[in-house]
Amino acid sequence: MSNSTAVKKTAPKFTTAERAAMRERARELKAAAEGAEAAAAVNAKIAELKGSERDLAERIHALITTAAPELSPRLWYGMPAYAKDGKIVCFYKTASKFGSRYATLGFSDPANLDDGAILPTEYAITEKLGAADERRLAELVKRAVS
């Protein structure tokens, strides 16, 4: 059989909607993989911390992920941060990172915390959190993503 008489085989053709669905699924898989890697990096960074700094970072992480599970953990300037739609909403800084006397929980522009002309963007955490402190921080995080 010569090449000129060979039957051409064609690959099955996908519809425009099927191709769009496949591209969307590929994006979902990539985002899930990146999200898992980012969350693992946050957990690894917290595990590197020593003593009370690690304890506080673990507690802050648990508070944020419980209060706003829609936030995605990731590192930001080497510290745990939490994003919504790819934008940092809140972040945690240890005292030792910048030689400060206290750790901070901060909020970025996308946080929905506006309350008049003046609003705090970072909260100093000077000691172990009590139950009332934890409730207040959880409420701030919930409000930030509302």
* Structural domains of the chain sorted by starting position, each given as residue range(s) with its CATH number in brackets: 14-145 (3.90.1150.200)
Looking at the predicted structure, is the pLDDT value of residue 102 above 70? yes
pTM summary value: 0.78
At 88 the pLDDT is 93
111 vs 124: CA distance, rounded Å: 17
List 93's β-bridge partners, or say none. Answer: 104
pLDDT, tens digit, 9 for 90 and up, residues 12-50? 788 888 888 888 788 767 766 788 888 999 999 999 999
5 vs 73: CA distance, rounded Å: 60
Looking at the predicted structure, is the pLDDT value of residue 8 above 80? no
| Contacts of 46 by beta carbon, 8 Å cutoff, 6+ apart | 54, 57, 58, 61, 80
